[in-house]
Amino acid sequence: MHMLKKALTIDEKGHGEDHPDTATCYNNLGIVAQEIEDNNDAAQMHENALSIREKVLGTNHSDTA
């Protein structure tokens, strides 16, 4: 989990907070949080990913759906 959070920090600095790669990092963190049964953190990470994807890609994009 620590390495994914580090990757998120790098993506946010390199690509910006509203970039599809940043959304992917949030999604990956959400998956790991689900696996360790941290459901609150998982939900927050997936919500962050969805928010970015809706903003950048639109609601009809396959990555958003």
The residue ranges of every structural domain in the chain are 2-57
The whole-number average pLDDT for the span 33-48 is: 96
- pLDDT over threshold 90, residue 43: yes
Q: DSSP for 25-62?
A: HHHHHHHHHHHTT-HHHHHHHHHHHHHHHHHHH-TTST
pTM, two decimals, is 0.88
Rounded CA gap, 27 and 45, in Å?
Answer: 6
Q: What are the structure tokens assigned to 12, written together?
A: 């946010």
Predicted confidence band at 23 (pLDDT cuts at 50, 70, 90)?
A: very high
- pLDDT over threshold 90, residue 53: yes
Predicted confidence band at 37 (pLDDT cuts at 50, 70, 90)?
A: very high
